[in-house]
Chain A
């Protein structure tokens, strides 16, 4: 694969400049991305639990009840994940639009096909919900299909993310023919493996928290923790694999213990800490311990989102830096967003408060 950048192929940054200082867009992108991953974790982890539970649910009424009550949560988690995923996509276009769009177009129908994968995942989850509502067992095939569809979506997204930050590969990718997934990045497989195990771990912890809160049967607590524990171990292993697969210069930059490199250390510390915390949770402990483990895992994902952006900037540095783009902030418009955000959080809080008693019943 050709490794030099053809500068003519790189579009110019948007003619309007940046509508906000880069740090603000980067912070919001990372925060919303971590929230997106959390709910994606709910879908992936929850579905993995349904799959793992499928056999036991046939003979064990507690496990059957857990599957029955967990199933309706999954379309909600997927809807939340999709909606939360809009915001980081928005900010990645603000900061790196010219690279992101080029990668989108080179992937072509694969990128558009993401929507088909999401619709398929929704349809399958609804089918599962319908089966459970009718008292029929879920079986192995349906959750396995959901996981396959979501894993494919993860590959497409990671392919897009790696191509976005690899302009040196555009010429060769183009010559090979458009509408193909980009698999030439050595970090692609560890990225997907790390992401999927991280999601399963997050999902396991979420299920355990929901069970501890009384929103799922008590069996969910043990089942969730049992899923989270090995997944966190695998996540840690894949984390180091991912770091080892990075080009040496980028790896060194990430691990620099000062400035933005601190995010890598925070992420590593969080992923390391999550494992013993999960062991304690698995052996017993209350809601506080569970929430603490979930928060640490969320912190790790948030630090990874920031590290990931750091990595992207390092990869693009020879040709582009958001810091070099003129900033034309629209603060009055931002203020409107901030007000809507605060009011929106209040409304969501009210909605959840009103519904909690019913959900526990």
Chain B
């Protein structure tokens, strides 16, 4: 919509965003939790004069603090870059609404960079208490960045009473209905992921004695255990979801149900495993146990993030902007070029000139060319032709009548689909183009290279 179209072969733009986002979120949450893990473990070791544990922490600080931190920084920029390429109108609205919150988060990033490098470089070179305080500064700054970024993420799913330009709009956007439960969930998830990482560290490193490993695993279990509280918090988050999203969770979206099930099962296994270990005071872990712990943590976390991304569909910002970049009726007075009331009258391609082959006009194209332009304007961001969420396998057995009928009612048939944003003539052209995809792929010609 309005912008050039970033064509991601096979993956599709939305899956590219999801992959980068989930990887970043996993690393970033791990980094936040690790800050607390190391600061806590160091404080306890200082109090008890436990030099062996301090030496262990020093030796692996690079692995569990600095590397995840840097990876998180780069992949965090990666999300920004990817969303700007795939959904520029969405990131633009978010930046214009939350610019000062992002700027505040940036200050916290600066504190994180300075504190983590100083923490690393000054180990054993400043008083132990001072060093530990530097660690706490990193941990707290990291957690605060999570609090800010989750305001933006939760806003996208539950904008609540947000009305653009209304007094206090930004505060309504920040403290949206799902902000508190999801922030708590994210904090608990961060601690649990760091705990899982610490279990793996204890199982795989060489050169540390058994007592140190057991102390590390003991603390790791205590960081994982509170994650059980995520279950009631998920109930709270569910209660404030839009009705459409609630229906998806309750079975209208089978994929979401399956992924949600994976997430819940993984979380349960992780929590129970830690509870059992802590109750039996058995802090020895084999490498297989450690691998399973990390895998389960990753699957649980990734599944929940996938569900969160999926629940938003067909919107990028619930009730305000569809995943196509077309805005909903609620934005009719704000959006001069890509609102659905306009695109339905003037055509979606009229708002998306980059969907056409360079230098060509819509009227000059044949029916299939016009249909392809409509597909690029209205479908390509979520549906590739042959890759992820592909349309070719979908239409293979469909008649033209079926396709045409679905274009009329796709938002009713499938809750994750937006309403068709164009004119009836565009619908006809798109139906012809989709029908042509039933043939082998040689015929399609991408516009704009």
Contacts and interface: CB of A to CB of B under 8 A. Distances in A.
Interface of A: 8-9, 11-12, 14-20, 28, 72, 75-76, 79-80, 82-84, 86-87, 89-91, 93-94, 97-98, 101-102, 104-106, 108, 111-112, 114-115, 118-119, 122, 171, 174-179, 328, 330, 332-334, 336-337, 340-341, 344, 347-348, 351-352, 354-355, 357-359, 361
A84 B110 contact: yes
5 contacts: A14-B95, A14-B96, A72-B121, A122-B74, A358-B122
B391 to A, nearest CB: 22
B93 A90 contact: no
A65 to B, nearest CB: 17
B331 A83 contact: no
B343 to A, nearest CB: 14
Interface residues of B, number: 71
B99 A94 contact: yes
A351 B118 contact: yes
Contact of A105 (B73, B78, B88): B88
A19 B4 contact: no
B126 A357 contact: yes
B125 A361 contact: yes
A20 B126 CA distance: 43
Contacts of A97: 88, 92, 95-96
A337 B95 contact: no
Contacts of A14: 92-93, 95-96
Contacts of A178: 4, 6-7, 448-449
Contacts of A112: 78, 81-82, 85
Contacts of A174: 4, 354, 358, 448
Interface stretch (B28-36, B231-239, B251-259, B334-342): B334-342
Contact of A114 (B81, B91, B122, B336): B81
Contacts of B71: 119
B132 to A, nearest CB: 11
A86 B5 CA distance: 24
Interface of B: 2-7, 70-71, 73-75, 77-78, 80-82, 84-85, 88-89, 91-93, 95-97, 99-104, 106-115, 117-118, 121-122, 125-126, 130, 133-134, 137, 141, 164-165, 168-171, 327, 331, 334-337, 353-354, 358-359, 448-449
A332 B121 contact: no
A337 B70 contact: no
A14 B130 CA distance: 47
Nearest to B140: A347
Contacts of A84: 110
A12 B337 contact: yes
Nearest to A28: B103
A11 B134 contact: no
Given A8-B353, A337-B107, A105 B85 contact: yes
B103 A105 contact: no
Contact of A115 (B81, B96, B331): B81
B113 A83 contact: yes
Contacts of A8: 353
A340 B3 contact: no
Nearest to B69: A79
Nearest to A76: B117
A79 B118 CA distance: 13
Given A9-B354, A87-B103, A336-B100, A175 B334 contact: no
B208 to A, nearest CB: 20
Which secondary structure dominates where chain B touches chain A?
A: helix
Contact of A354 (B78, B80, B130): B130
A351 B114 contact: yes
A277 to B, nearest CB: 28
A171 B360 CA distance: 11
A355 B107 contact: no
Contacts of A352: 114, 118
A90 B102 contact: yes
Contacts of A93: 84, 91-92, 95
B82 A16 contact: no
Contacts of A9: 353-354
A179 B6 CA distance: 9
Contact of A16 (B2, B110, B334): B334
A359 B121 CA distance: 8
A20 B134 contact: no
A220 B18 CA distance: 46
Given A15-B335, A17-B165, 8 more contacts: A11-B88, A15-B334, A28-B103, A90-B103, A102-B4, A332-B171, A340-B104, A344-B110
Contacts of A114: 81
Given A15-B336, A82-B74, A118-B74, A90 B106 contact: yes
Contacts of B6: 105, 108, 178
A357 B118 CA distance: 12
A171 B358 CA distance: 7
Which of A11, A28, A84, A174 gathers most chain B CB within 10 Å? A11
A214 to B, nearest CB: 14
Contacts of B141: 347
B97 A19 contact: yes
Contacts of A105: 3-6, 84-85, 88
A195 B102 CA distance: 27
Which 9 A-B pairs have CB atoms at the shortest separation, nearest pair first? A177-B449, A358-B125, A101-B88, A11-B2, A344-B107, A175-B358, A333-B100, A16-B96, A15-B334
Contacts of B97: 16, 19
A86 B109 contact: yes
Contacts of B114: 80, 348, 351-352
